[in-house]
Structures are given as structure tokens and as C-alpha cells.
Amino acid sequence: MRRACVQTVLASLFTFVSLVFCAQAFEIEAQKRYPVAGAQRTISILSTADIAVFEPIILAFQLANPDISINYVTSGSTEVMKAIYEEGAQFDLVISSAMDLQTKLANDGFALDYSSEATASLPSWAKWRNQLFGFTQEPAVMVISEAAFANLDVPRTRQELIETLRDNPETFAGRVGTYDVRTSGLGYLFATQDSRNTESFWRLTEVMGRLDAQLYCCSGGMIADVASGKLALAYNVLGSYAESQLQGTDGLKIVPLDDFVGVMLRTALIPKGAKQAEGAGRMIDFLARLRTHPELTAATGLPPIVEQAQLSGTVLRPIRLGPGLLVFLDQLRRETFLRSWTSSIKQN
């Protein structure tokens, strides 16, 4: 009887621990396998890029590398960080739009060194420590419903946006979308960079808060809700996603603001402990040469790294790779920023 009781207690304890572990596991949004008959290896990729966006790249890569199958897993940027940094999840390549979180992974010893002719061809500002490699340049833009602005001038600067929102609450109440920076790694990156680039950031956040702004994890959801009419505008969404999702859609407009346009680099790294580091390196080489595949730019909407792009106009504010991105990841600074943002946006 005593032995049976012990076994029961142990079984219950095991179940409890298992439930706790599962509750803490990072959240997978989607997963798709790309098997190749006779492939000698499979590389596992953890990415923030939607399957529909990244699939043309995977298929083109496999045409050039027919010995590699791919397991592609998508998650939010903060969940990607959690998977690698906290849980030691087993992946061979990590791709993310959150440059600051990727930089922290590399800075804190979670990335392997890698170098090749392809990575050497990248501009110096598009790589860091031979561990982190940018392969796209994606602007943050505003997407608006033209119907909502039928009797209004389209704002061209953040100050004009503030005035338009403030003066027309009947049009915009509950119909402005932006990131929930508490949960969105990309949203936090854009918000902190905005706060560096303009004094109007906090005024804009407060105005959005008074209008009961709708908060999102990702660009795709915001863009879809503008397309459906639920939102009048979405602020700071990825221009690449907007271009892709709005193809053939009438009544919507992509607006890059004239005071400045933040430009994010989508980056890739090989995590420490990768079992297929050689195959992951081949994918990094392919991504580093994305500019030589214009058909993939057209298919995915992802603009590749182009050296001259950083010199094409003073409006662009490229976010630079490097230790400067770690400033707002300091725990106290992050807590202070989020506290101020939560108060301004009027969220509990």
C-alpha cells in the first residue's frame, strides 16, 4: 500500500512538473516541413517571418541545395528570444525582426561565429562580430484607410498625425492600431528608436491612448484590420508586409512619414549548439546574396541589403547593429520605458 501511495505521489508530481514545463514553453505560431527525397540533413529554422512570406526563399534555397530538408517554425520575436535564451530550444538557424534581441543573443554567447565569401560581401553595418547577419532592410510605415481620410488631409509627419488624431476623435476612436510593446519585440524596438529620433513620440502615444488605441503583436494583424475597415490606420507596420498584403487591394494607402522612416534589418544567426551549423551557414550565404535574386524580392516583398540604400536620403533612419541596441534591454531602463508607455497608452 505504501509503495502504491509513493508511486501515486510521484506520478502526480511528474504530471505537475510536466504541466509547469509545458506552460513555460515558448509559443509556436506555425510550423511547416519542407522534405526533400534523399536529403542528407534537415536544418531547423526558428523565425519571425510568416511562412507565406519566407516560403519562396526556402524553395529557391532547396533548388540550389537539394541535399537539405527544412523544418520551419514561426513565433513572435519575444518568444523566439525566450526559446533560445531561456529554454535552450534546439534550432540550427534563428531569424528575427527584433534586432536588439538578436544582438543580445550574440552578445551573451548564444551565437556561433560564421564567415564566408558571402558574408564578407555584406556592408560592415549589416553584420556584427561575424555572428549576426542582416539580409533585409524594411521600413516602418503607416497604413491608412482612404475612406477614413476622405475629408481629411493625410498626415505627412508625426506632428501632423498628432494633430489629425487629436482633432478628429469621432473618426479615430478605437480605430488606431499600434504594437503592444510589452509583448512585441519588434514593437518595442520601433518604439524605443522612435523615442530617440523624435520628441513627439510620447505626445503621439498619449493621443493614441486617449483614442483607445488597439494593440497588436504583429504587423500582419494590424494591416488586415485596416483592410477590413476595423482600423482607420496602423502605425509603424513593416512596409514589406504592407506591400505584400495589400497587393490588389483598393482603398488603402501606405504612407512613409516625411520626418523620418525607421529602417529595420531582419537578421539571422546560428545558435550555439546547432546540430546542422554547416547547413545553416549555407542558408546564411543564400540570404546574404538575396540582392542577386530579384525574383525573390518580388515574390516575398522583402527588400534585400543594398549598400547605397543607407545613403539614399536623410529621411531614412536605419537602425544600426551593435551594442547600442542593448541600451533599452537593460532591465531597469526597460521597466522604466514600459511603465511610461503603459501610462501614456492608458493600458492596464
Look up cell 493600458; give the residue: 347
pLDDT at 314: 60
pLDDT at 16: 36
Assigned CATH topology for domain 27-137+265-317: D-Maltodextrin-Binding Protein; domain 2 (3.40.190)
Closest CA to 44 of 70, 80, 74: 70
Q: Domain boundaries in the chain?
A: 27-137+265-317, 138-263+330-345
pLDDT at 9: 40
pLDDT at 19: 36
pLDDT at 10: 41
Q: Which helix (H) or strand (E) holds 137?
A: strand 132-145
Pairing of strands 252-255, 132-145: antiparallel
Domains 27-137+265-317 and 138-263+330-345 share a fold: yes
In 75-90, which positions are buried (b, 16+ CB within 10 angstroms) versus exposed (e)?
bbbbbbbbbbbeeebe
- Architecture of domain 138-263+330-345 in this structure: 3-Layer(aba) Sandwich (3.40)
Distance of alpha carbon 68 from alpha carbon 45, whole angstroms? 12
Chunked mean pLDDT (size 10), the chain, 348 residues: 44 39 71 94 96 96 97 95 95 96 97 97 93 95 96 96 98 97 94 93 97 94 95 95 82 93 95 96 97 93 78 72 93 96 84
